Structures are given as C-alpha cells and as structure tokens.
Amino acid sequence: MDWFVINLLNGISYGMVLFLIASGMSIVLGAMGIINLAHGALYMVGAYMGWTVAVKWGAGFGLGLLAGGLCAGLVGLAIERGLLRHLYKKPNEQVLLTFGFVYILANLCLWIWGGWPRMPFTANFLTGSMEILGRAYPKARVAVIVVGLVLAIGLWWLQEKTRMGAIVRAGMDDKEMTMGLGINLERAFALIFFVSAFIAGSAGVIGAQLLGVHNALGMDILLLALIVIIVGGVGSIQGALLGGILIGVIDGFGKAIFPQLAMFTMYLTMIVVIIVRPAGLLGRKI
C-alpha cells in the first residue's frame, strides 16, 4: 500500500511539472494556433536564471522563481514582438521560426552558463521531508503538487471567467471579427505569449528539483510537453492537466516496475491515444 501511494505521489508530482510545462504551450497553441517549439528552451532559460539568482547570488528561492519567470517571459516577448508577429497569418513559418530559437537559446545558455549541469535546487523551507502514511516524503514534491493545482485553478479561472479569456477564445474562433470589434488582438497575443513564457520559466525553477538544470533541457522538455499535449489534447487547461498527470503517473509506475523501460511507457501511451483518439483525450478541434 505504501509503495503504491509513494509511487502515486511521485507520479503526480512529476505530472504536475509536466502540466506546468504543457499548460504554457497549450495556451499559446489554443489561442494563437502556434506551436512554440522554443517552449522547452524558455523553460531552460528560466531554470538557469533561477539558479543564478537563488543559488549563485543566494537571493532565495522566491526571487529565483520570479527571476526565472521574468527572464523567460521577456525573452519570449522579444521573440513574439520582434519576429513572430510579422508572420501572423503563416502558422507554418511561425512554428519553424520558434524551432530556430531552440538552437539559438540552447547555444546561448551554453555560452553563458557553460556545459556543466547545475545541482537541483529548491526553496529552503522545502528541503527535507514530511510524513505521509508513516513514510518520509520530500516536502518539495508535495509543494510541486500544490503549486500545480493552484496554477491549474488560476488558469482555468482566467480561461473561463475573465474578459481576457473571453477575448482569447473569441480570437481563436474568429480573428477578423474580434479585431473588427476593436479589440486589440496584437496586444492580447503579446500578453499571452509573455504569460506562456513566464509560466515556462517559472516551471523551470519549480521543476529544477525534479528535472535538474542542464543544457539538454531545451529539447527534453519540448518532447515532454509535446507528449502531454498529444495525450491530453490541445487548447484547454483541463487537457494539459489530465495529460500531465496521466503521463506522470504512468511513467512513475512504469519506472518503478520496469526500470529499463525508461520513457517507453510514455511513448506507448502516446501511440495508443493517437490511434484511439487522435485529437487527444480532452482535445477540441482547433
């Protein structure tokens, strides 16, 4: 029983990080129709920046989190404002452009921070463990679950209940009409992209404990995000959450039962979902 619960919690906490990663990407995909392939790279930028502020400069986890998010957010914003917005009606080009940035950002991070990975880090008050069902369980992982839930609720509320959410949904359905109504879609897009990148960067700091900080993150995280989106479906927070948790749990139990199999449980799940429900479990057609 203990074994089950511990692995379940492991799976859920990992799944929450996956949700954090995929949510940002899903927002942009759902609202702007762009796959931001540089999303993983933004995660990485956030992780490195967060490490620098929190650990290297010793300013604490909270500031590190903020710094990571902001840094990634600003980079994302720069990409959107400087380049992406000139390709508004051309989603293929936009996707390709973001892919170029995977290489650019990865190499820049290499240049600035060097090739050695950083030690996983977390907040001081989260080090150590707490008791769950009579066993010690890392506080940091519990915190990740909590943060993930809070973000999920927050984003869902934004998506369903606010004016910005309504604008985004309208823009998704009918861009010209929305713009005709005088709503500044350009600004909305810039904001959305910034928020998505901010989430990615913050996820990098939060997830550092579980996923580490190293130069291959850009591609690794991208792959994870894509698998979560394929499984959970695009365009909704619920989809990213379901996809994340499902993959996290399946992967967690997979690793516990057959350690050799590494990522295959993830891939297998993905293939099954593609064949059975091509739009993802909770997918809506874009």
Partner 1 sequence: METIKHEKGQDRWVSRGAPYILGTLVLLVTPLFLDTYGQGLMTRFLIFALFAMSFNIVFGYAGLMSLGHAAFFGAGGYTVALLKLHYDVNLFWISAPLGILVATLIAALFGIIALRASGIYFLLVTFALGQMLYSLAWNVKWLNSKGMQGITGINLPDLGIPGFTLDTIWFYYLVLIFFLLSCVLLYRLVISPFGLALEGIREGEPRMDAVGYNTWYLKYAAFVVSGAFAGLAGVLFAYYNFFVSPNHLGIATSFLPMVMTIMGGLGTFLGPVVGAAVFIFVENFASILSPQRWPLVLGTLFVLTIMFAREGIGVYLWRLWTRWGPNYGSVKN
Q: What are phi and psi of 213, to 5 degrees?
A: -135, 105
Q: Provide the terminal-to-terminal Cα distance of the chain, rounded to the nearest Å.
A: 42
Compute the least distance from the CB of residue 155 to partner 1, in Å. 21
User: Amino acid letter at 78?
Assistant: A
97 contacts partner 1 (rule: CB under 8 A): yes
83 contacts partner 1 (rule: CB under 8 A): yes
211 contacts partner 1 (rule: CB under 8 A): no
234 contacts partner 1 (rule: CB under 8 A): yes
Instruction: State the DSSP code for 120.
Output: P
Compute the least distance from the CB of residue 107 to partner 1, in Å. 4
User: Amino acid letter at 284?
Assistant: R
104 contacts partner 1 (rule: CB under 8 A): yes
193 contacts partner 1 (rule: CB under 8 A): no
Decide whether 138 or 254 has the Cβ nearer to partner 1: 254
Decide whether 23 or 202 has the Cβ nearer to partner 1: 23
Give me the DSSP letters along 54-109.
IIIS---HHHHHHHHHHHHHHHHHHHHHHTGGGGTT-HHHHHHHHHHHHHHHHHHH
Token digits for 177?
A: 């009409």
106 contacts partner 1 (rule: CB under 8 A): yes
116 contacts partner 1 (rule: CB under 8 A): no
Compute the least distance from the CB of residue 92 to partner 1, in Å. 6
Residue 1: in which H helix or E strand, if any? none
The candidate with the shortest Cα–Cα distance to 51, out of 142, 144, 122, 102, is: 122
Using the structure block, give the residue that is written with the tokens 């799944």. Answer: 15
241 contacts partner 1 (rule: CB under 8 A): no
Token digits for 173?
A: 């359905």
Decide whether 83 or 158 has the Cβ nearer to partner 1: 83
Contact 249, 11 (CB under 8 A): yes
28 contacts partner 1 (rule: CB under 8 A): no
88 contacts partner 1 (rule: CB under 8 A): no
Query: Interface with partner 1 by CB under 8 A: which residues?
Result: 29, 33, 35, 83, 86-87, 90-93, 95-97, 99-104, 106-108, 110-111, 219, 223, 226-227, 229-230, 234, 260, 262-264, 267, 270-271, 274-275, 278-280, 286
